[in-house]
Amino acid sequence: MPEVAELVEQHPELRLRPIATQEIHAHNGVTWTEEPGAYEWWEISAIDASGSGLLCALHVGNAFDPVYRRHVRQLRAGRFIDAALGRKSATAAIAVAVFHKGRRVARSNVAIDPASVHETPVARGWVLRLGGIRLAADGDGWRLHLDVPRTTSGLRHVLGGPARTAGRIGADISVQPRFHTSTFWRGLLPDSPSGAVHDWLPACPSAAVSGTVQWTGAEPGTLELRDTGGSLDHFRGSGPIGEGIRRYFISRTVWPGGAALGELIIIRKYIQLAPTLMIFADGQPPRIIRGDRTPRADFQRSAWLLGYPLSLGWISEIQAAAVEHHIDRLADASPCRITAVSRCSVRFEGASREIRFDEHPGVVQLIQPPRIDAWPWRWWCGPALGE
């Protein structure tokens, strides 16, 4: 793929490695390291023009679990504990948030018995199972089936006792690529001083997501997805995520002929790295644009006291590109990750025309390394599936 080879030369700091479309399922099934702190997760997003949809993440080696991270720190410090507690096979979880017109209407964040995690080799058709959850290759795309307890969040969750798992969330959806484009493994975060490596595969930057999402309990409902714009990403790493990072933003907005994925890393309170924008378009090689400025944003705080901006932009005046996300409402929050449905404006020059969108749906996520201990996390995360 000469177009990706050219990007590799232009952006050595991103550690780009070309991946052909027909090899995506094979790379999902590559055996990853079991060293302390390793993690892996698949993330599916789908948001329509009204701000309705879902975000679903399947974690094997939960990078955001403070219990897991504490075990890794103890092993690295030479503490005598069972080494298996610091391997990714020791923890698994699922996080689901369902949105209706930008408002979160149902969520689930539960631990899963790691013994139930099973991955079928690609030669027999790639399938990942976590308890009763199933993500499987479906032709060129994927199919997700899940049925999980519905949970609440924040103090309402901690004080709510048994009511925190009242109701369930079920989904049966397909994720099909809207077009085939070359893509790449790339560096997710700067490699840490300890040698940890973090990878991000935009496996399907622009997808058509179809199917049904249902939830029971308080305000039950059903959401029908019909060719809703979405994406599927695969993240994995060889060590604890976010070492030396204060905040890490990922954004995405998808349209039928393309997608724009943004990344912004803040290493200290007022020091940030150059924002990165990845643009995928039908019939065009992928592009990477390094932003030359990010507008100063006003911040507000979530129920977990994590600050998040009211707007966030990826702007390059040199390359005449700008993608700005305006955040009206926080959609979901945990002690270490925030999700917001945004209204997005997109401006950049395509191969044959200028791409311009206003008031387009998007998703912004803030990842911040957990700073809480195991006890409140266990309360927040809820019981393991099957309890």
Walk along the chain (387 residues) in steps of 10 and give the mean pLDDT of each run: 80 85 75 80 93 92 83 84 85 91 86 88 81 90 94 54 69 94 83 78 94 92 95 89 78 92 78 81 88 65 65 84 84 75 88 82 81 53 44
In a domain, residue 99? The reply is yes
Phi and psi of 66, rounded to 5°? Answer: -60, -30
- Residue 200 domain-assigned? yes
Q: Torsion over CA of 230, 220, 42 and 117, rounded to 10 degrees? A: -150
Q: Is residue 387 part of a domain?
A: no
Structure tokens at 72: 């890794």
Residue 168, classified by CB atoms within 10 Å of its CB into exposed (0-12), middle (13-18) or buried (19+), is middle
Residue 385 lies in a domain: no
Predicted pLDDT at 172: 97
How large is the angle between the packed helices 66-76 and 374-381, nearest 10 degrees?
A: 150
Q: How many domains does the chain have?
A: 1
Asked if residue 212 belongs to a domain, the reply is yes
Q: Which helix (H) or strand (E) holds 375?
A: helix 374-381
Inside any domain, residue 201: yes
155: domain range? 2-380
- Nearest-CA neighbor of 280 among 175, 182, 357? 182
State residue 272 phi and psi, 5-degree precision.
-130, 155
- CATH classification of the domain holding 259: 2.40.370.10
Q: Which amino acid is at 38?
A: A
Give residue 155's pLDDT.
44
Single-letter amino acid code for the residue at 375: W
- Helix (H) / strand (E) element for 157: namely helix 154-159
Paired tokens of 145 = 């089936």
pTM: 0.89
Question: Residue 187 in contact with residue 201, Cβ under 8 Å?
Answer: no
Q: What's residue 297's pLDDT?
A: 60
